[in-house]
């Protein structure tokens, strides 16, 4: 049996995406282990969720960017992390950090990229007037919200939507595709070619 995928999850806030990962692991739906949860915010509810699940946590105080990132890199390496998951981590990582872990960092973003990158994606979508929006899991590269797309899920925008109602509809899908992307990564089924990410079919190898 291959070794369990070790995750390092970076968080800044509420942590519902982290919770979705924890729940999927606990329910046996995702074969992975969260080695460490790291936050730049000591009061993040996500840290509380991790502690409740007996997952090791680390708070890294933001300061000089290079030192802040160096500390995070050290923690991730000490914990032998295979995949880094940005789950509501509200900082932009430098090219130096990103290039340290090529194709080993993924992010969940609440829009159908490349539409509405950056902050307040749900508000941007609502104000723009799109009829469909959604969420995206992508590999992280040097461009903010610009890396190769792994999975996307669409949701409708209704006339009476508020930022809150739309965000809630998207969030449900975020939890689903983030866990699914981690699963596919862990099963070594993601093949990246330029900007495109191909997903190998289940059991493909075994059929040969
Ligand atoms: C999510 O909407 C995610 O897409 C964005 O930040 C939010 C984090 O939510 N990057 P949570 O902390 O996982 O509840």
109 catalytically annotated: yes
Query: What ligand 1 atom has the least distance to the C-alpha of 19?
Result: 13
Cα distances from 18 to residues 13, 50, 158, in angstroms, run: 10, 8, 28
Domain parsing of the chain, residue ranges = 1-101, 108-208
135-193 per-position pLDDT tens digit: 999 999 999 999 999 999 999 999 999 999 999 999 999 999 999 999 999 999 999 99
Query: What ligand 1 atom has the least distance to the C-alpha of 174?
Result: 4
To test the ligand 1 pocket, which listed residue (23, 46, 105, 110) has its Cβ within 8 A of the most ligand atoms? 110
The reply to whether ligand 1 has any atom less than 6 angstroms from the CB of 108 is yes
Query: What ligand 1 atom has the least distance to the C-alpha of 122?
Result: 2
Spatial distance between the Cα atoms of 8 and 53, rounded to a whole number of angstroms = 15
Q: Whose CA is nearest to atom 8 of ligand 1?
A: 88
108-208 and 1-101 share a CATH fold: yes
The reply to whether ligand 1 has any atom less than 6 angstroms from the CB of 13 is yes
pTM (predicted TM-score)? 0.95
Q: Whose CA is nearest to atom 1 of ligand 1?
A: 88
Give the right CATH number for 108-208 from 3.90.105.10, 3.40.710.10, 1.10.10.10, 3.40.50.170: 3.40.50.170
Q: Whose CA is nearest to atom 14 of ligand 1?
A: 16
Which sign does the torsion angle of CA 55, 56, 59, 65 carry? negative
Residue 207 has pLDDT above 50, yes or no: no
Residue 204: pLDDT band (50, 70, 90) is: very low
Look up residue 42 and give its two tokens.
């000591």
39-72 per-position pLDDT tens digit: 999 999 999 999 999 999 999 999 999 999 999 9
Q: Domain 1-101 falls in which CATH fold?
A: Rossmann fold (3.40.50)
102-136 per-position pLDDT tens digit: 999 999 999 999 999 999 999 999 999 999 999 99
């Amino acid at each position: 049996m291959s070794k369990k995928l070790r995750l390092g999850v970076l968080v800044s806030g509420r942590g519902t995406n982290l919770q979705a990962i924890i729940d999927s692991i606990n329910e046996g739906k995702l074969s992975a282990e969260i080695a460490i949860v790291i936050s730049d915010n000591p009061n993040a509810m996500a840290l509380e969720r991790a502690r409740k699940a007996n997952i090791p946590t680390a708070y890294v105080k933001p300061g000089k960017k290079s030192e802040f990132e160096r500390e995070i890199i050290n923690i991730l390496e000490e914990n032998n992390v295979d995949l880094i998951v940005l789950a509501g981590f509200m900082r932009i990582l430098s090219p130096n950090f990103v290039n340290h872990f090529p194709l080993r960092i993924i992010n969940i973003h609440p829009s159908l990229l490349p539409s509405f990158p950056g902050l307040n994606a749900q508000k941007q979508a609502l104000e723009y007037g799109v009829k469909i929006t959604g969420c995206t899991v992508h590999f992280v590269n040097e461009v903010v919200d610009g890396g190769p797309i792994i999975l996307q899920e669409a949701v409708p925008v209704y006339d009476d939507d508020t930022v809150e109602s739309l965000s809630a509809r998207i969030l449900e899908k975020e939890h689903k595709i983030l866990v699914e992307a981690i699963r596919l990564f862990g099963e070594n089924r993601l093949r990246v070619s330029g900007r495109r990410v191909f997903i190998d079919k289940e059991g493909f190898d075994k059929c040969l």
